[in-house]
């Protein structure tokens, strides 16, 4: 895929992977619009990269999503919708009665899954009208093997993975030129993963590999440890589950 001259909308683009992606898209000659819920973070991102256009918007809010679409349309539209926004709740014991089970699941599914569908529905006709366009959905290595500590987050990413594959096939059946990419990052060093002690990939290295995959039209972009997890889980699912959920995670659940 050609990135130069394209306009990219990145949700959750004010920090972490989204902000690094904005920088690297700019370096590849694209124009970039980022969204986020925190105006302060958006302002800081704008100071860091003046070429970025910022719009405060929450993907989980239908009214915000519609306002975002209207603003983007006024700016001339986009060629690439990069659904990067995601949330992760604190670990919780699913085996005990707790109102947080449903609250956390609703929150994660609304942002990580329904928020993606919400924006895709709004922007799909705009993207279809472009000569070359794309939707990028961010799943996770946890869409292959669940994490006991991030159970509902894992479930939201599985839902998004199945939706992404179906969306891609639907557009192919319709002979649409819209390309649907699935990005599967490993554990990346961001604010979301600050408290995790496992090996982490830098945002710069992750996005560099991601951009390389886009340029090659690699529709499923597995990066770093995600490649290993994908292969291991196909042949040794029990081993892969145990590697993803070491005994120390049991203590967190039981505490």
Instruction: List, by residue number, the catalytic residues.
Output: 153, 157
- Residue 103 has which token pair? 């609250």
Unique residue bearing structure tokens 């302002």: 43
Kindly report the backbone phi and psi dihedral angles of residue 128, in degrees, each rounded to the nearest multiple of 5, phi listed first: -60, -30
Give the three-class secondary structure for 127: helix
| CA 96 – CA 82 distance, rounded (Å) | 37
List all residues 6 or more positions away from 83 whose beta carbon is below 8 Å from its beta carbon: 11, 59, 115, 116, 119, 120, 135, 136, 137, 138
Other beta carbons within 10 angstroms of residue 99's beta carbon come to 7
Of the candidates 221, 183, 212, 177, the one whose C-alpha atom is nearest the C-alpha of residue 79 is 177
Q: Which two tokens stand for residue 240?
A: 């892969």
CA distance 62 to 64: 5
């Amino acid at each position: 895929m050609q990135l130069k001259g394209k306009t990219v909308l990145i949700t959750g683009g004010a920090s972490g992977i989204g902000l690094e992606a904005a920088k690297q898209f700019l370096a590849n000659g694209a124009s970039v619009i980022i969204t986020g819920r925190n105006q302060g973070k958006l302002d800081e991102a704008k100071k860091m990269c003046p070429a970025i256009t910022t719009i405060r918007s929450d993907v989980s809010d239908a009214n915000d999503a519609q306002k975002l679409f209207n603003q983007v349309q006024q700016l001339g539209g986009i060629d690439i919708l990069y659904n990067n926004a995601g949330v992760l709740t604190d670990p919780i014991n699913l085996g005990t009665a707790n109102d947080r089970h449903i609250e956390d699941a609703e929150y994660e599914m609304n942002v990580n899954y329904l928020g993606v569908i919400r924006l895709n529905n709004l922007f799909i006709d705009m993207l279809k009208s472009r000569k070359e366009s794309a939707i990028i959905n961010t799943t996770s290595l946890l869409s292959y093997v669940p994490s006991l500590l991030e159970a509902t987050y894992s479930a939201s990413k599985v839902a998004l993975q199945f939706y992404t594959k179906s969306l891609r096939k639907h557009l192919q059946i319709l002979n649409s030129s819209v390309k649907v990419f699935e990005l599967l990052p490993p554990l990346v060093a961001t604010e979301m993963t600050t408290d995790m002690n496992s090996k982490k990939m830098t945002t710069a290295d992750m996005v560099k590999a991601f951009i390389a995959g886009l340029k090659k039209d690699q529709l499923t972009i597995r990066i770093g440890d995600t490649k290993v997890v994908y292969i291991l889980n196909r042949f040794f699912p029990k081993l892969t589950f145990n590697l993803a959920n070491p005994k120390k995670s049991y203590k967190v659940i039981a505490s």
